[in-house]
């Protein structure tokens, strides 16, 4: 066990007028959207690149910062509103509650936060987004603050492990983690299809969560972090090059998504699942694995690799909603029934690929419909 607990979390939901209707987009992007699992009746884009709001897309630093403030401050405001100490935006997806506030994180004030970690892969201004949050919420002068960039969709889960390590180094502390991707700055106005795909699938969104190792808060926490595992496949050239930010052959910056992304994501998934599986298996599954090994190694049976029934290890799955093909690949690799995939597919449908915050939208979906009960376990992650 890690000794790290999550007090509460919130995800940002943009206002209805920011919905993006794909009929307004190009034929190529419409084709991609229809295959990707996004709702064709509208996910969300910021006003600066929204075809119904902006005459011409604006992707400058100042405009991107407006989106960052809207999304990241909106998520943090909604999170603090759930604790009863801050006026929220009213846009966050709230957990159903009886009689007002949840008992989870009541009374956590901004000045009580000891550690801040923010992330945005591509938009990394100066001052940093972490500094922007410190300024907006007037966090303490001695706060341990860090901003992470360039790590893509994975950081929304990977940084949870970093928060765990920070809490180990700082006992009796509260940490705030704010993952987001700023679509204004990532918008690609060029003509190359490997770059245009990102315009079609990436959407506006972000999240915020409070984690702690304060013994006095344990009884008020919603979740306990049991395991945090990661695998880095950057040693492999194909994996390293399949996603990148930079100029196309015309010199126009954009997010490049190679055709081999699903293949490389599959390799990563297989590696990380192999690493985490022994830690989550039940005793009965260990016995099954031993029987499998005896039959294969000693008796020569032509059995494949042992794969446990993950629905007996975990109660819920919040998997990276990177696209329809990505989720179907994860579903096949883990042999999960469709009902276990519903929160992830719903997150993709309703919000699109929100990069580092996708899995948090999936957990918010579970909570909104009362799917998570006390004592149940959630597997979160499997990201590229």
Show the tokens assigned to 123: 């938009």
50 is catalytic: no
* CA distances in angstroms from 51 to 19, 23, 38, 54, 270, listed in the order given: 10, 10, 17, 6, 39
Return the residue matching tokens 């006992």.
171
Distance separating alpha carbons of residues 111 and 141, to the nearest angstrom: 9
- Among left, alpha and beta (phi > 0; psi -120 to 50; other), residue 224 is beta
Q: d(Cα 207, Cα 360) in Å, to the nearest integer?
A: 7
Burial (CB count within 10 angstroms: exposed 0-12, middle 13-18, buried 19+), residue 16: exposed
Distance separating alpha carbons of residues 140 and 113, to the nearest angstrom:
8
The phi, psi pair for 333, rounded to 5°, reads: -65, -30
192 flagged as catalytic? no
The helix (run of H) or strand (run of E) holding residue 170 is: none
User: Which of 119, 213, 316, 384 is labelled catalytic?
Assistant: 316
The residue annotated as part of the active site, out of 73, 153, 221, 384, is 153
Give the integer Cα–Cα distance in Å for 12 and 226. Answer: 26
C-alpha span between 369 and 326 (Å, rounded):
24
Catalytic residue selected from 120, 147, 186, 320 = 320
Give the number of residues written for the chain.
Answer: 384
Q: How far apart are CA 229 and CA 161, in angstroms?
A: 8
CA 269/CA 146 separation, integer angstroms: 28
Residue pair 33/114 in contact by the 8 Å Cβ criterion: no
Phi, psi of 2 (to 5 degrees): -100, -20
- Answer yes or no: 147 catalytic: no
Annotated catalytic, 186?
no
Would you call 25 a catalytic residue per the annotation?
A: no
Residue 178: phi, psi to the nearest 5?
Answer: -130, 95
Catalytic residue among 232, 242, 253, 313: 232
> Catalytic residue numbers?
153, 232, 316, 320, 353
């Amino acid at each position: 066990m890690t000794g790290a607990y999550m007090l509460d979390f919130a995800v940002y939901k943009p206002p209805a007028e920011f919905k993006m209707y794909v009929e307004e987009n190009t034929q190529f992007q419409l084709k991609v959207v229809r295959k990707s699992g996004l709702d064709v009746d509208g996910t969300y884009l910021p006003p600066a690149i929204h075809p119904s709001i902006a005459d011409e897309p604006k992707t400058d630093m100042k405009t991107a910062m407006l989106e960052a403030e809207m999304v990241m401050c909106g998520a943090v405001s909604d999170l603090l509103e759930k604790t009863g100490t801050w006026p929220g935006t009213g846009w966050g997806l709230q957990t159903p509650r009886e009689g007002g506030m949840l008992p989870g994180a009541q009374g956590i004030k901004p000045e009580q936060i000891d550690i801040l970690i923010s992330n945005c892969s591509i938009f990394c201004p100066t001052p940093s987004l972490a500094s922007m949050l410190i300024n907006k919420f007037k966090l303490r002068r001695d706060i341990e603050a860090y901003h992470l960039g360039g790590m893509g969709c994975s950081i929304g889960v990977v940084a949870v492990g970093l928060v765990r390590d920070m809490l180990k180094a700082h006992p009796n502390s509260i940490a705030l983690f704010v993952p987001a991707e700023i679509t204004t700055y990532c918008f690609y106005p060029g003509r190359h299809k490997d770059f245009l795909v990102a315009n079609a699938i990436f959407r506006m969104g972000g999240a915020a969560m409070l984690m702690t190792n304060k013994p006095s808060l344990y009884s008020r926490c919603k979740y306990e972090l049991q395991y945090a595992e990661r695998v880095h496949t950057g040693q492999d050239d194909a994996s390293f090059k399949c996603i990148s930010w930079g100029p196309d052959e015309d010199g126009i910056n954009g997010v490049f998504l190679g055709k081999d992304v699903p293949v490389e994501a599959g390799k990563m998934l297989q590696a990380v699942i192999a690493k985490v599986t022994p830690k989550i298996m039940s005793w009965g599954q260990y016995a099954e694995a031993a029987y499998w090994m005896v039959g294969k190694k000693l008796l020569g049976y032509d059995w494949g690799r042992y794969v446990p029934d993950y629905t007996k290890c975990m109660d819920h799955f919040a998997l990276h909603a990177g696209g329809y093909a990505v989720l179907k690949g994860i579903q096949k690799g883990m042999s999960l029934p469709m009902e276990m995939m519903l929160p992830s597919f719903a997150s993709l449908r309703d919000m699109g690929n929100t990069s580092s915050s996708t899995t948090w939208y999936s957990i918010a979906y579970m909570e909104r419909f009362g799917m998570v009960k006390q004592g149940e376990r959630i597997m979160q992650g499997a990201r590229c």
